[in-house]
Amino acid sequence: MTYYLIREMLEECSPEDIQKTEWQYVAVLKPEEYRTVKDSFNMGIDLDLNLNRISDTKALVNYDSLTGTFNIPDHECFSDRKNKVAFALDEKGIVLIDESDYTERVVRQIQQTRRWKLPSLERFIYDFLEETIHNDLSLLESIEEELSGMENMIMKGDINEYPMSLNDIRSDLLDIHKHYEHLIDVAREFEENENQFFAEENLRYFRLFSERVERLQDTVSQLRDYIAQLRDLIAGELSIKQNNIMTLLTVVTTIFMPLTLIAGWYGMNFVNMPELYWPWGYPVVIIVSILIVIVSLVWFKKKKWL
């Protein structure tokens, strides 16, 4: 377990220090640690500490505390891995409960990189939320570059089948979009300030955060539209390739139909066939067959079927 006082920067302290000072605090605990010390926080609420049951990001207003969960996607595998964190807060501070070291790493990052002129719990929450999305813009840009690469391949005609990675990207974007919706809801719940835990002048932090997430969400929506356009483009390109193949097969079939007819005629074993004993019969049939092929090719070329 780790405790911090929210001063000009996060100052690591002991559990006793948060009881003896007026400074607001941050506590990062494992579930089993929270069970042993939860009474010291005087929040009057029992949290569900089975973090495996966390399925979304949300905030719940209670009589004397505000609780909730964060279900933060892993940027390397959006659909499979999530960082699950429970929290409880009041006007004195916030308790973050996490089985992994994710929350501790985020708080340490804030401790090392943030200095505040006006330290407050609201500012810490804002910075914590910002840390959970600070790489999202670069991630979305990399997705856009990948989609742009696919579009270039399509325009060059290098796509021979539907790329299954497009479905994976679409699924990831759907997860990100839902995550942003939940983050916006949490930020608005904080901004509502029903229990008056936050100072009025600091509610702007939550509004700034929700506006930033809304911009990211707009980017996700644009990428989803881009994917829809690519799917139509791929379907059109594959359809053109199929049509070209069918055209080629039709041309070959059309050329060989009269040749097959000639072969059928001269494959019949009739004694009185006119050309059967004619010395020039065989060469003439060959020449006629070649002329049929040449005339057919010229005709198809003129009609732009080849």
d(CA 18, CA 4): 8
52-100 tens-digit pLDDT: 788 889 998 888 889 999 998 877 666 567 889 999 999 999 999 999 8
291 and 208 inside one domain: no
Indicate whether 162 pLDDT > 90. no
Name the average pLDDT for the chain.
Answer: 87
Indicate whether 201 pLDDT > 80. yes
Least confident of 40-54, 253-267, 282-296: 40-54
130 and 196 inside one domain: yes
Mean pLDDT along residues 180-184: 95
15 and 155 inside one domain: yes
Mean pLDDT along residues 267-277: 72
* Residue 272 or 169, more confident: 169
The per-residue pLDDT for 80 is 64
What's the total number of domains in the chain? 2
224 and 119 inside one domain: yes
Mean pLDDT along residues 112-116: 93
**Is there a domain that residue 245 lies in?**
no
- Which of 189, 208, 239 represents a domain boundary (last residue)? 239
Q: Where does the pLDDT of residue 171 fall: very low under 50, low under 70, confident under 90, or very high at 90 and above?
A: confident
122-146 tens-digit pLDDT: 999 999 999 999 889 998 999 999 9
Q: Where does the pLDDT of residue 306 fall: very low under 50, low under 70, confident under 90, or very high at 90 and above?
A: low
284 and 165 inside one domain: no
279-296 tens-digit pLDDT: 777 788 888 888 888 888
Mean pLDDT along residues 255-260: 85
**Is there a domain that residue 50 lies in?**
yes
**Is there a domain that residue 214 lies in?**
yes
Q: Are strands 2-6 and 93-97 parallel, antiparallel or unpaired?
A: unpaired
Mean pLDDT along residues 239-257: 81
The per-residue pLDDT for 107 is 95
Phi-psi domain of 12 (left: phi exceeds 0; alpha: psi -120 through 50; beta: other): beta
281 burial via Cβ count (<10 Å: 0-12, 13-18, 19+): middle
Range of the domain at 296: 251-302
**Is there a domain that residue 246 lies in?**
no
Least confident of 41-50, 162-171, 172-181, 210-219: 41-50
Query: CATH number of the domain that 259 lies in?
Result: 1.20.58.340
260 and 182 inside one domain: no
The per-residue pLDDT for 197 is 92
230 and 295 inside one domain: no
The per-residue pLDDT for 19 is 83
What CA dihedral angle connects 234, 235, 241 and 243, to 10 degrees?
A: -160
Return the beta strands (E) in the chain as ranges: 2-6, 10-13, 25-29, 58-61, 66-74, 77-89, 93-97
**Is there a domain that residue 70 lies in?**
yes
**Is there a domain that residue 244 lies in?**
no
Indicate whether 227 pLDDT > 80. yes
* Residue 282 or 221, more confident: 221
107 and 226 inside one domain: yes
**Is there a domain that residue 64 lies in?**
yes
